[in-house]
């Protein structure tokens, strides 16, 4: 069974940085693209970023480009999201998602940015 | 960017009802669309991929159809566990985009 476990969320002040991690198991991790998707309180789902299986291809939403960096360590079956320059608008639950077609999702980790 | 417009935004229904949710794309996306169910505090779950293929393990009362710019998700006979928010997602181009969601309530 596929398992995705996110970690690294928390309460951070405006302008601060956080790094989210997603540990994957039950899959051939390096063969698949991975994404981050977020949901702000009371809002819908918003795609944040995608990385190819090799890690060479990376794609970002305009709202985070230049502030967030997606990466992966295929030797550790782990996906990352480095978030810099955080603002209250980044407050959300962040989900790790397996597959180019968004096949399977983790439970999410909460990020709260205070002003 | 491709905009996805879901309708309705919310829907009141009863157990046993047949329900249809529509997702319209601002430009053609072939069949590159999925449908997701999301319950509060849970991981979203994919129901349909490729616009009409049923995800393994998902009950057959769920079905998807459409191609190009208009897509539908149908639940043939609502069950209590189906009350949730449903989203469409396009993976035709970047940025990936979601519909705004349809909240299905009793």
Pairing of strands A34-39, A45-51: antiparallel
How many angstroms separate the CA atoms of B11 and B7, rounded? 9
Tell me what pLDDT residue B30 has: 97
In chain B, which residue's Cα lies nearest the Cα of A103? B46
Helix, strand and coil in chain A, % to nearest 5: 5, 55, 40
| Residues belonging to chain B | 106
The verdict on whether omega for the bond into residue B70 sits within 30 degrees of 0, i.e. cis, is no
| CA distance to partner chain A, nearest, from residue B74 (Å) | 20
Tell me what pLDDT residue A1 has: 87
Say which DSSP state B31 is in.
T
How many angstroms separate the CA atoms of A107 and A112, rounded? 16
Helix/strand/coil for A93: strand
Mean of the per-residue pLDDT values for chain B?
A: 97
For A68-112, write each residue's pLDDT tens digit: 999 999 999 999 999 999 999 999 999 999 999 999 999 999 999
B45 at A interface, C-beta within 8 A: yes
B38 at A interface, C-beta within 8 A: yes
B62 at A interface, C-beta within 8 A: no
Tell me what pLDDT residue A88 has: 97
For A22-35, write each residue's pLDDT tens digit: 999 998 999 999 99
């Amino acid at each position: 069974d596929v398992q995705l476990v996110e970690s690294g969320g928390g309460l951070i002040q405006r302008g601060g940085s956080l790094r989210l991690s997603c540990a994957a198991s039950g899959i051939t991790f390096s063969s698949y693209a991975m994404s981050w998707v977020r949901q702000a309180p009371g809002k819908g789902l918003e795609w944040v970023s995608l990385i190819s299986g090799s890690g060479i291809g990376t794609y970002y939403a305009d709202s985070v480009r230049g502030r967030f960096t997606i990466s992966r360590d295929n030797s550790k079956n782990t996906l990352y999201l480095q978030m810099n320059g955080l603002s209250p608008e980044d407050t959300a639950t962040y989900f790790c998602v397996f597959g180019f077609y968004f096949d399977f999702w983790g439970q999410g980790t909460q990020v709260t940015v205070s002003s | 960017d491709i905009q996805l417009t879901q309708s309705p935004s919310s829907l009141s229904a009863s157990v046993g009802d047949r329900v249809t949710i529509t997702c319209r794309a601002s430009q053609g996306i072939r069949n590159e669309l999925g449908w997701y169910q999301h319950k509060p505090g849970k991981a979203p779950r994919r129901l349909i991929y490729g616009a009409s293929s049923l995800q393994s393990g998902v009950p057959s009362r769920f079905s998807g159809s459409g191609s190009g710019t208009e897509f539908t998700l149908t639940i043939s006979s609502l069950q209590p566990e189906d009350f949730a928010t449903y989203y469409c997602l396009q993976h035709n181009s970047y940025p990936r985009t979601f519909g705004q969601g349809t909240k299905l309530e009793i």
